[in-house]
Amino acid sequence: MGPSKRRTDQPLLGRCPDCGQELLRETLLISYRTANGWPKMFAQCPACDEPVHPE
């Protein structure tokens, strides 16, 4: 399954680093800050069905 069209009513987190699928806010699994203060997140890619770090 390739990248799909984004619904404009959903904020975009980024793209899947593996397949390029757009990751919408609704796919967010967890958001946290590293020890050095940088924000990180995992989202569930609907195309890969895997948790990924959005790019």
The pLDDT score that the predictor gives to residue 10 is 76
What is the reported pLDDT for 14? 95
For residue 4, give every residue at least 6 positions away whose Cβ sits within 8 Å of its Cβ, in sequence order, or none.
21, 22
The pLDDT, as a whole number, for residue 22 is: 96
Residue numbers of the chain with a pLDDT score lower than 50: 1
For residue 1, the model assigns a pLDDT of 47
Helix (H) or strand (E) holding 34: none
Q: How many CB atoms lie within 10 A of CB 55?
A: 11
| Residue whose token pair is 């904020």 | 11
- Sequence spans of domains, the chain: 12-52
At 4 the pLDDT is 52
Question: Distances in Å between the alpha carbon of 11 and those of 28, 37, 46?
Answer: 11, 23, 16
